[in-house]
Amino acid sequence: TTNFIKRRTEIKAKFSRKYDYKRAKCEDPKIIKEWFSLVRNTVAKYGILEQDIYNFNEAGFAMGVIATAKYEDLGLLDDWVITLSENGWTSNSIGYEWIQHFDRHTNARIVRTYRLLILNGHESHLSAQFQHYCTEQKIITLCMLPYSSHILQPLDVSCFALLKLLYGKQIETFVQNRLNYITKLKFLSAFKEAFKATFTEQNIKSGFRATGLVPYEPQNVLSHLNLCLRTPTPPIVESEHIKNCIVRHQNSSPTSINDAVSCLVKGAEMMIHSAVLLKAEVKALQAANEQKKRTERKRKRRIMQGGSLSVREGEDILQSAEVDAQVCTEVASETTR
């Protein structure tokens, strides 16, 4: 298989991954365009500059089991804030403490009047206390679409995956040193090293750029979405998206354009086939309806009272009756003359 893939350059091999159905439903160009319209209108309404746009999210880490050992000189950053919750999950009170911490560290860097904070719809971000504080401090909050953080949230796109990867490597170092138990202090030590390597200016900017927020460029997200055919297919959404792809990729590889055009052709073929089937169905229904009308116009006559009758005998009786009726009609016509 490996050699076959090497020979066929048009084939690529990738590891499969779990793909959540709800996330897949969210990857709809129409839905994503509505999100970017909301961002654009909010920025225009409050006069928010790119320097005043922020994003925050939370992530969980499994501390794991690794050795009882002594570790000193953590060297944690002075401005880090550490708090606890009863169950290990964030809460409304922790969210409120965080927004105050955020305000203290960004208030002096405001370029204009308002700050824009992109967040998800977690309960701790939507509490009345949290929102009231944001209103007082002129912090505009925008909640992303549900199940869309993997394509719309800068932290998820560029930082969190790398952070967890580097944190895992720190834990591997502990394992190699025969430390098989992680305390909270060791966790902070490992997290600090991973954090310093992850949250660089370059990585943070790449996250905002990849999600189309800074600079504002929705096509950075829309160009990676699959064109999902619907029933009926919405031609306006798909055709406009394909047209933009062609304009944008005039000097690049035609592969993505070919894929998009193939999807459009397939959708057009499906519509044509549906139209042909509907036309045939209508024609058949019209013929059946006409036959029913002709049957209803015929006068029903009883040709025999009781007993049995073969088909041939019945046809003979009907034929004889028709001859008699025709003779009567001719006689009546001659009499009239």
Domain chopping of the chain, boundaries: 23-215, 226-291
pLDDT recorded at residue 51:
94
Higher pLDDT, 153 or 261: 153
8 A C-beta contact, residue 65 and residue 182: yes
Which residues lie closer than 8 Å to 212 by C-beta, 6 or more apart?
36, 218, 219, 220, 221, 222
Higher pLDDT, 92 or 248: 92
Higher pLDDT, 114 or 332: 114
Instruction: Give the phi and the psi of residue 209 in degrees, each rounded to 5.
Output: -70, -45
Look at residues 219, 225, 229, 222 and name the one whose alpha carbon lies nearest to residue 263: 229
Q: Which of 234-243, 268-277, 293-302, 328-337 has the highest mean pLDDT?
A: 268-277
Higher pLDDT, 226 or 276: 276
Largest CA distance in the chain: 131
Residue 303, pLDDT > 60, answer no
At 276, the amino acid letter reads: V
8 A C-beta contact, residue 114 and residue 89: no
Residue 214, pLDDT > 80, answer yes
d(C-alpha 97, C-alpha 102), whole Å: 9
Q: What is the mean pLDDT of the chain?
A: 79
8 A C-beta contact, residue 178 and residue 67: yes
Question: Among the listed ranges 83-92, 160-169, 287-296, which one has the minimum average pLDDT value?
Answer: 287-296
**Neighbour count for residue 69 (Cβ, 10 Å):** 13
Residue 89, pLDDT > 90, answer no
Q: Which two tokens stand for residue 208?
A: 């905002």
Residue 142, pLDDT > 90, answer yes
d(C-alpha 227, C-alpha 223), whole Å: 10
Higher pLDDT, 109 or 254: 109
Q: State pTM to two decimals.
A: 0.57
What number of residues does the chain have?
Answer: 337
Which residues lie closer than 8 Å to 232 by C-beta, 6 or more apart?
271
8 A C-beta contact, residue 11 and residue 3: no
pLDDT bracket for residue 239 (50, 70, 90)? low
d(C-alpha 22, C-alpha 288), whole Å: 45
Which residues lie closer than 8 Å to 204 by C-beta, 6 or more apart?
154, 158, 159
| Cα-to-chain-centroid distance, residue 181 | 40
- Full DSSP string of 200-254: -HHHHHHHHHHTTTTTT-THHHHTTS-----SS--HHHHHHHHHHHHHHTTTS-S
CATH number of 23-215: 3.30.420
d(C-alpha 53, C-alpha 214), whole Å: 8
Q: Which two tokens stand for residue 40?
A: 């654009």
pLDDT recorded at residue 268:
82
The stretch 175-190 carries a mean pLDDT of: 75
pLDDT recorded at residue 223:
87
